[in-house]
Amino acid sequence: MTVLVTGSRGQLGAALLAEAARRRLAAEGHDLDTLDIADPVAVERTVLRVRPSVIVNCAAMTDVDRCESEPDAANRINGLAVGNLARAADLAGAVLVQVSTDYVFPGTGSRPWAEDDPVDPVNAYGRSKALGESLARTARRHLVVRTAWLFGPGGRNFVEAILRQVESGARTLDVVADQRGCPTYAPDLAGAILDLLARGATGTIHVVNAGSTTWHGFARAIVARTAPGVAVRPVPTEAFPRPARRPANSVLATDRLRRLLGRELPPWENALDRDLEARCAS
């Protein structure tokens, strides 16, 4: 398997390259400076040079609030650019893996979302990612991997944000307690993507660590492990008005993942332990 990773400096892209190296797979990574996925000519040229068997698209505009104020840019990068990758994947005979999001769902109810539930995003980021999913499905061989609440080494993420607040001396943190999702560790997701490819998986699949929580629950778990004296208070979403609406329930069902891999990913609390250990070690 030869893997081309786009968005390779992001938290998932970097984790994929690291996991591919661990497995001794041939892999080449590109980020915005060497391959802008919104440039169809550059995408075709790179794909025809590398001749990958798999393209994993981790490139995205991931700032949800910025997507709300710049919806055209969001659609161009998260949506239309995926069409460039789909066309190039077909030219090279490669599988296109498009990484997508829990934010394609509307967040209503309390049941976990299944792969075939209708998408109905509540914000511009979700709409642009839903467009990306539909363009990924134009590739002859594709795998749409929906994930959520990513954290991992070197990333701009929630764990990093909480640790930074604690380090800067905060003794009380107010954290939203009415949005529920599945925190997911980028290295676990990277390993699962490569395992799914090795098994020839196609179509759409949810890949998240086991369990779910709220942002408040996630913050409490981080603080309990790193700064037990700090108080974490639950607050409603309205306490932090943001430009983009967030879905209240974005828990993803993982029955298909369990069937295909014969296992779940480890519980998110276990993944958090490993993330914090890795931070201490580095």
Q: Where along the sequence are the contacts to ligand NAP (CB under 6 A)?
A: 6-7, 9-13, 31-32, 35-38, 58-62, 77, 81, 99, 101, 129, 147-150, 155
Closer CB to ligand NAP, 75 or 147, in the complex: 147
Closer CB to ligand NAP, 62 or 230, in the complex: 62
Tokens of 105: 């769902």
Tokens of 276: 């914090």
Closer CB to ligand NAP, 230 or 272, in the complex: 272
Closer CB to ligand NAP, 206 or 220, in the complex: 206
DSSP result, the chain: -EEEEESTTSHHHHHHHHHHHHTT-EEEEE-TTT--TT-HHHHHHHHHHH--SEEEE------HHHHHH-HHHHIIIIIIHHHHHHHHHHHHTPEEEEEEEGGGS---SSSPBPTTSPP--SSHHHHHHHHHHHHHTTSSSEEEEEE-SEE-TT--SHHHHHHHHHHTT-SEEEEE-S-EE--EEHHHHHHHHHHHHHTT--EEEE--EES-EEHHHHHHHHHHHH-TTSEEEEE-GGGS--SS---SB--B--HHHHHHHSSPEEEHHHHHHHHHHHHHH-
CB of 205 to ligand NAP, least distance (A): 13
Query: How crowded is residue 160: how many other Cβ atoms within 10 Å of its Cβ?
Result: 18
CB of 111 to ligand NAP, least distance (A): 19
Closer CB to ligand NAP, 59 or 124, in the complex: 59
CB 59 within 8 A of CB 10: yes
CB of 32 to ligand NAP, least distance (A): 4
Is residue 185 annotated as part of the catalytic site, yes or no? no
Closer CB to ligand NAP, 82 or 223, in the complex: 82
Candidate list 103, 105, 125, 185, residue with the active-site label: 125
Which residues are known catalytic residues? Answer: 125
